[in-house]
Structure 1
Amino acid sequence: MSSLHPPEQFRIHVRQPITHPHPPPPMIHFPPHKTSQSRCYITKTMLTPSPTGPSRPQRIINTHPFNASLDLVLPTELYECVRDQLPRMEFWSAEVPLGRFLEGAVLDGLIKNGFLLALSDTQIDSQDTFCIADGVLRMALTKETYEKAGLEGHVSKFGKKRRWNVTVDLKASGMVAGKKEFERLRWSFTETLLSAPVQFTFAVAKATPELILVLTTHLCPGAASMMVAPNVRNPSQALAVPSFTPPEGCTLGDDYWKEWALDLHEWIALAQLGSDRLWDTDTGRIDPYYSTYAPPPPNPSSTPTSLTHISYMGGLIPTTIITDIFDLLWANASDAQCWSLNVQGSEDAPISWDGREHGRDKAGSGEHGYTILRMGSREEEVGEEGLMWEVVGGEDEYS
């Protein structure tokens, strides 16, 4: 499992709090460590949407299409309230030729309406990689494949011209049989190195029986279907929830504030793992040679709380599912209840957020993900306050 807590070599950036309806102020930058490869962006924000659009956490969810895992930590009382509404997910795995995406039933019934999510089971740093989200086909190609594909693209922003990127909007008016743009793409998919079948993982956003029928009949007949159900773990005892108030005297963006925010991030990670260190408050009997960790100070005004960890792992998790869960928790949590939502992206996806190019760094890491914390306070005038961490690898245009 990927660590939630950024190691010291991460560059830590803090964004100013976002309140409605004002536009977000500029991000605060801090000097990076010289050996830094990745970045962690920390935002103090409001979870509720404004009259003019979604909140920043909602935008982060909606623009991050290729999600490999989802973890929730929430009070058991809240889990009991929403347990019957938590969704199950279905995905498919099959080997298909790229030309299949251009067939009428698939193109018109799944892709142009933005319902199909597809990611090739390949390695982004050494193989041709393909993905489809929101009706856009993206190809990250090796130099040899690109030179023979006959398609227009651009060299990757990372590496030494070892990868070329091609983006095709399959919703465009030119994507119709008989038009030059469409026929050029079909020729490339049948007459070049791109004609070889590729192993894909598929998911359908807002899946209906009609959409699933198109996928299983026209795109990948006979494909293996797999269900992902929420995996639930309940600890045996209550836990002291940390205070979500920054230390007295610190201000947004200073070293003490950053340390406090990263301590909360680490606490969430350990809560996901069910670590005994969170329940063992007698830190004096733990030999510091083995562990110097101590949980953040508990909230003095709250009583110990039983927490439930829920995880989804495997396949592709559509943004629509994550949005539904986010909205479900937001609507059902009481004023005092906190909860966290952590998403890890697919490391071999060609993009991370908002179509930005993504790859693996020199250490082989392709991490990109985010954590949203609802801090258990409700301000009627501006909405619900939260913290958000975005962890971005070194070879990612988003950073």
Structure 2
Amino acid sequence: MKRHSQVAHARVICDTVSSGENIIWKKLKTHHFVNNLRLVLPASDYLKIQAQTERLTFTYYEGTIALHKLITAQFIDKIKDDPQFLLLTHSKEIDDDNVICITDGSLYLSLTEETYRRSGLLGKQSGFMLPRKQKCKWNLKIDISKGLNFERTENQQFKLLWFLEKVLIEEFQVVMSFNQEQLDIPGFEKCQVAPHVSIFKNSLVPDLQFQQDDSWLCEILEWIALCTLKSKQLVTSEDPYISAYSETVSIFDNEDRNSRLDLVIVEWMGLLLPKHALFSTIKSLQLQDEVYRPSWFAMVDYGVMDSNLSHGNNEHSFESNGEHIDLVLGKHEEWLLYQVLGARDGS
């Protein structure tokens, strides 16, 4: 079957929910840094899960600090056993600045050429050159899951702390997510992300019966995105040129086969959401008792701009800032996942 031009830029996966871990769960786990999470479901169904959803408040920590004061041997010993720990420097541009993150027990550094030459560390040249600026960057990955080993002076881990103290001396804005109730670091502020609930009235809803058809997949992809934006395009067809996709415009031609519903949109937005945020949200919706389970839901998560990792271990491309999006359409037994990546962010 010929690939639809709009769907061709997204990775699309269908699966069924089972007691074991399905492929969609595994793919969602490869998305490290999320700062915006949106949930869409029928207003009539929201009443069923309102109590669970409104309890989902997520925590992260924010501060400005020189990294050698934060990333110490004692700090790494403290976080090494926490698989949920996330750290990300922000307010930096991925193509021009040094950017650092920690996820899945590894420290990832994206360094400018000047910084890398002074670091004494051994890395790999970035795959994304900037010929216009005659610059390149260097990537390093250091395993800290078992703490730091100082047995040999040429060891990357031994050199890391020297590099942070002697070379990378600037202060960074840092956000962290920790799997403990309290992270006591001077100068860091505890930030809580509570759900914000809004209503999208009289939205047109297309057929949500899963189909192996690229036109349908394209229609659902944009429909979910337009729902999260509460776009007037789903309420009235007065301006059909707002949408680039003919499928979304054409659903008004078949309105008798579609339905209109009031939708609830729940949004969590901060600098960094914890790694368990996606799964806590989905878990609150995947109830066994049909009386309390929504008939369907859509979830969208947006990646942090200028982080140095895409999905998995892949670096972000520079020209698109590094943001990326996951969209999930879920029913009790059926799941549909779109992973919308930059042109060179695939894994």
Asked if these proteins are the same fold (TM beyond 0.5), I'd say: yes
Matched, 1:331 2:287: yes
Aligned match of 2:143: 169
Q: Secondary structure of the equivalent of 1:125? A: coil
Seen in structure 2, the aligned counterparts of structure 1 residues 354 and 49 have a Cα distance that, compared at 3 Å, is: farther
Whether 1:196 aligns to 2:170 is yes
Structure 2 residue aligned with 1:223 = 188
Shift of 1:178: 5.4
Contact (CA 8 Å) 1:277, 1:294: kept in 2 or not? Answer: no
Deviation of 1:395 (Å):
3.3
Q: 1:331 to 1:298 in 2, by over 3 A?
A: farther
Question: Taking structure 1 as reference, are residues 304 and 128 closer, same or farther at Cα in structure 2, changes over 3 Å only?
Answer: same
Post-superposition CA distance 1:132-166 (Å, at most 9, x none): 11221100001000010000100011115611001
Equivalent residue of 1:352, what SS?
A: coil
Q: Secondary structure of the residue that 1:329 maps to in structure 2?
A: coil
Question: Helix, strand or coil for the counterpart of 2:311?
Answer: coil
Which residue identity does 1:325 align to in structure 2? Answer: T
Map Cα deviations across residues 289-336 of structure 1 (whole Å, 9 max, x no partner): 677734374685x86433100111111112211111111112268477
Q: Give the match for residue 156 of structure 1.
A: 126
Q: Show the counterpart of 1:342.
A: 300
Instruction: Between 99-108 and 290-299, report the one with greater CA deviation.
Output: 290-299
Q: 1:327 to 1:151 in 2, by over 3 A?
A: same
Quick check: 1:368 aligned with 2:324?
yes
Aligned to 1:147: 117
Task: Look up the equivalent residue of 2:334 and give its one-letter code.
Answer: E
Q: Paired residue for 1:106, among 75, 90, 102?
A: 75
Shift of 1:200: 0.8
User: Does structure 1 retain, via aligned residues, the 8 Å contact 2:326–2:339?
Assistant: yes
- Spell out the pairing of 1:76-115 with structure 2 (5 A cutoff): 76-86=43-53, 87-115=56-84
Question: Are 2:33 and 2:303, in contact at CA under 8 Å, matched by a contact in 1?
Answer: yes
Distance (whole Å) between structure 2 residues aligned to residue 168 and residue 116 of structure 1: 15
Q: Structure 2: how far apart are the matches of 1:290 and 1:44?
A: 29
**Unpaired segments of 5 or more residues in structure 2?**
none
Distance apart, 1:102 and its partner CA: 4.1
- What is the CA–CA distance in structure 1 between the aligned matches of 2:87 and 2:37, rounded to whole Å? 18
The answer to whether the 8 A contact 1:340-1:371 is kept is yes
Q: Judging changes above 3 Å, is the alpha-carbon distance between structure 1 residues 55 and 246 closer, same or farther for their aligned structure 2 residues? A: closer
CA distance in 1, matches of 2:241, 2:68: 59
Q: Is 1:118 matched up with 2:87? A: yes
Q: Does 1:320 align with 2:276?
A: yes
Q: Give the 3-state SS of the residue equivalent to 2:208 in structure 1.
A: coil
Other-structure match for 2:11? 41
The Cα of 1:58 is off from its aligned counterpart by 0.9
Q: After the TM superposition, which of the residue ranges 324-333 and 343-352 deviates more from structure 2?
A: 324-333
Q: Which structure carries more strand by proportion?
A: 2
Inter-partner Cα distance in structure 2 for 1:199 and 1:9: 39
Q: Which digits, 9 at most, give the CA deviation of each residue in 1:213-236, with x for residues without a partner?
A: xx32xxx3122222211111023x
Q: Structure 1 residues 331 and 299, CA, compared in 2 at 3 Å: closer, same or farther?
A: farther
Task: Return closer, same or farther for 1:71/1:95 CA change in 2, 3 Å cut-off.
Answer: same
The whole-number CA distance in structure 2 between the counterparts of 1:78 and 1:108 is 45
How many pairs are equivalent? Answer: 328
Tell me: CA distance 1:288–1:120, structure 2 relative to 1, closer, same or farther (3 Å).
Answer: closer
> How far apart in 2 are the matches of 1:100 and 1:115?
22
CA distance in 2, matches of 1:234, 1:373: 19
Deviation of residue 265 (structure 1)?
Answer: 1.2
Does residue 26 of structure 2 align to residue 70 of structure 1? no
Equivalent-residue separation in structure 2 for 1:61 and 1:333 (angstroms): 25
* Residue 370 of structure 1, CA deviation: 0.8
Amino acid aligned to 1:366: G
What's the Cα RMSD here? Answer: 2.7
Q: Could you say which residue in structure 1 is the equivalent of 2:336?
A: 387
Rounded to whole Å, the distance in 2 between the matches of 1:125 and 1:389 is 27
| TM-score, scaled to structure 2 | 0.85
